[in-house]
Structure 1
Amino acid sequence: MTHTAPTYATLDEWIEREALQFSLSSPTAFNAAVDKMLASLGNSVELLGLGEALHGGEDILTLRNRLFERLVTAHGYSAIAVESSFPKGWLTNEYVAGRGPQSYAEVEESGFSHGFGRLEANRELIEWMRSYNAKPSHQVKLKFYGFDSPTEMYGSDSPRQVLHFVLDYLTPLDSDSGLEHRSRIEPLLGQDAAWENPATLIDPTKSIGLSEVATALRMETEELISTLQIQRPELVARSDEERYLEAVHYAMMARQLLNYHANLAQTSDKRFIRLLGMRDALMADNLVYIVSRERRRGKVLAFAHNSHLQRGKAQLSLPTQLGPDVHIWWPAGAHLEQMLGPRYVIIGTGLGSSEPNGIARPEANTLEARLTAVPGPGRFIPTHKGQGLPASDIAALPARTASKKNPSYFPLSPESLVNFDWLAVLDSTAYTRGAPVLPDQK
């Protein structure tokens, strides 16, 4: 059944009539707002995205934690996937499941990428999930995933971990085939430092991605994928379908990671735009895989920067040595829109101000100023994908000033009303506990 979006004469009328007020310090009011928002989404949603307006917003992380708790206890969610390395997330999930590592300290670095394990809100999330899973009355156990590609902003992982995962799966099931592949792959891996050299981002000549060894490793990875595909009936019978599909996914990730390294070694002026696009395409593949894995158990919450989860093109300004001043590419959310359709819904976040992040109060008539004019300190509001909202008001919205300290902050824009299904807007946020100190730029 389709519902016609209501029509509003002004943006202020839309905000005043549809905003669902909440406070993170009032669980009852917050849960009621979440329940009302979820009821509007229908039953087809399998993947709910929650974007963050910046990396460095403590209250946005708290919003994520409270939202996930409510999704688990009242709405059938079984997993969370965050903007962190997919292969590293396996270790954190082992801790959440009560296996392997005995303390969070053991997964803080090796179970997250980007230093995200050091964030106190992430520690609190993981400890809550582990505690939840330890209760026998909770029959559906929660799972934690990273869904980012195994790359960093200033470097990229060696393919060793993902290839070893596949070989470690194959060898016990078919020792001859596994050992043969390992004997050919292992000498080609070389030193991890050669793959992970951060200088490759600026200087393509520092990358080994197009070397003879790397090219040979790409061919061997294709052979490994072929072996998995050819021997599927045997491998599934000797393990199970879930473990088999996991190994195949890791093998495909190894392929894409090696392709990423090959692109790092190229000199095209489109090079960095292509790298950004490759990263987000792999993010989308990872999320679709996670959804398929959880389908029999529950739904999935995905958490990442707004720019990764939005439907429309992403845009980033970077130094000129990385190519054009402005880089534009299709983010993971745009891929997910095509791959999952109405099964994917996105909540973007907006922010009034944050002194620790160098974000002043929004200028008059900007979208953030209008959204924070209604009672808060937080509010959910449906965008209706821009339908029924006054086009002239939207076109006239002035641009809000960005952050003086935190380059990861992107203000909302008129496109946000199309890129997201709902907005979660906070009056303010503290700086994230455990994150690196921001430069004090005036």
Structure 2
Amino acid sequence: MVTDIEDIARPLHPAAVMGLLPARPRLLALGEPTHGEETLLGVRNDVFCRLVEEEGYRTIAIESDCLKGLVVDDWVTSGTGPLDEVMEHGFSHPDLGLGASAANRELVRWMREFNDGRPTSEQLRFAGFDGPLEITHAASPRQALTALHGRLAALVDTDLLPCTAQTLDRLLGPDDRWTDPAAMTDPSRSTGRSAEAGRLRLIADELAALLDARTPQLIAATSRDDWERARLYGRTATGLLRYHHAMADGSAARMTRLCALRDAMMADNLLALAARGPVLVHAHNAHLQRWKSSMRMWQGPVEWWSAGALVSARLGEEYAVLATAVGTLRHRGVEAPPPDTVEGLLYALPRDRCLFDASRLAASLADPRPAARVSSWFGYAPLDPAHLAAHDGIVFVRDVTRG
């Protein structure tokens, strides 16, 4: 069987990736089975650099706050300010060390060097596509709402706005009322169903509708980039207020709603980025797969449709996904995989990293189907043998070492 698998292994380069696909995708997703590993981020960087040089890719989107990502995008396109500040303020999820990552820093630096001296139309772009959501809390909608209101106030008649900036500030109140970590597990601590939050949801909806209705005017007065940024503020404001409303839900469906809303925000951001196309997307496998995601939480198992499933339903063949599998993460206590698992069978090959056609791999392992690998570390999610063929490709990295 190992010989059969080795026959379908390919080097991990753009030509081999494109050879797996029926059409050039607008969104090419590269998943990872765990977060914060420099080895895997280095693989991502290599893939993106080659896609830029060989396939004309110009945008990368990662699983980080979409508003913080604007800081990075501004720097790679302008180079203004110190890189240290960009890394500190341009990435979310500090618990995962995204801003402190050497691989992330190298990616940003390389993008800036590539862009230097190039016309705007040829420059690389950076995007976060996650909502402003941390493990412990959700952000205040202040940044997104006030930015959207300010852009519209500068360009349309005052009487078209649903409220003044002063009213908006009063309704928002102190940011810590929105970001209280206790609200993540205690719905009664959330402000998401207060009278002020209800009013803000209506205001956000009206501002987003006004932005859409004035699209020709706004693009002519500013630029398409400014209009796209305003739309991002609108999506984020409405998405955050919807998320805060769900945080105040005391029913058993609360965590299902929250997980689903997060991936829906991700999907909306990816669909907007697809208009730039083509885009390399990098995130956890669970967010990019074409089927439901699942997680066991304190209240029991939770299932929801992943961002990849939502995007795939809209884009069809213009969405492609490569899932990454690994052999070992010894610094995390994950040793060589059992030989009867997918990872174990791939680990037996004499290759450090390679690419497989997912359908052909699934067919070669169909009888008997491999066992599911069980992770000894909660932060790593092995492949599900039952869903191999739902990917376009499988990237295998033999050993993930400490960064």
TM over 0.5: yes
Contact 1:385 1:421 in 2 (8 A): no
Q: 1:347-358 to 2 correspondence within 5 Å?
A: 347-358=322-333
Change in Cα spacing, 1:203 to 1:429, as seen in structure 2 (3 Å) is same
How far apart, CA to CA, are the structure 2 residues paired with 1:14 and 1:98? 50
Contact 1:385 1:417 in 2 (8 A): no
* TM superposition shift of 1:241: 4.2
How far apart, CA to CA, are the structure 2 residues paired with 1:229 and 1:309? 28
How far apart, CA to CA, are the structure 2 residues paired with 1:14 and 1:276? 39
Task: Select the residue among 207, 210, 216 that pairs with 2:190.
Answer: 207
* TM superposition shift of 1:418: 2.6
Aligned residue in 2 for 1:4: none
Supply the AA of the counterpart residue of 2:122: V
1:197 corresponds to 2:170: no
1:307 corresponds to 2:289: no
- Secondary structure of the 1:144 match is strand
1:430 corresponds to 2:369: no
Aligned residue in 2 for 1:341: 316
Supply the AA of the counterpart residue of 2:375: A
Change in Cα spacing, 1:392 to 1:314, as seen in structure 2 (3 Å) is same
Q: 1:347-426 to 2 correspondence within 5 Å?
A: 347-384=322-359, 388-389=363-364, 391-394=366-369, 397-404=370-377, 407-426=378-397
Aligned residue in 2 for 1:329: 304
In structure 2, list runs of 5 or more residues that go unmatched.
Answer: none
* TM superposition shift of 1:235: 2.8
* TM superposition shift of 1:113: 0.6
Aligned residue in 1 for 2:254: 271
In structure 1, list runs of 5 or more residues that go unmatched.
Answer: 1-9, 22-29, 434-442
Supply the AA of the counterpart residue of 2:51: L
Q: 1:16-415 to 2 correspondence within 5 Å?
A: 16-21=6-11, 33-100=13-80, 102-115=81-94, 116-136=98-118, 140-174=122-156, 176=158, 177=160, 180-292=163-275, 294-295=276-277, 299-318=278-297, 320=298, 323-324=299-300, 326-384=301-359, 388-389=363-364, 391-394=366-369, 397-404=370-377, 407-415=378-386
Deviations 1:301-328 (A, max 9, x none): 000011110111112122x2xx22x221
Supply the AA of the counterpart residue of 2:84: A
- Secondary structure of the 1:368 match is helix
TM-score (norm 1): 0.85
Supply the AA of the counterpart residue of 2:17: M
* TM superposition shift of 1:14: 4.4
What RMSD over aligned residues (CA atoms) do the two structures have, in Å?
Answer: 2.1
Size of the alignment, in residue pairs?
399
* TM superposition shift of 1:422: 0.6
- Secondary structure of the 2:20 match is helix
TM-score (norm 2): 0.93
- Percent of pairs with identical residues: 34
Contact 2:162 2:207 in 1 (8 A): no
Contact 1:352 1:428 in 2 (8 A): yes
Contact 2:38 2:101 in 1 (8 A): no
Contact 1:132 1:138 in 2 (8 A): no
Tell which deviates more after alignment, 122-131 or 184-193.
184-193
How far apart, CA to CA, are the structure 2 residues paired with 1:350 and 1:315? 18
Contact 2:353 2:397 in 1 (8 A): yes
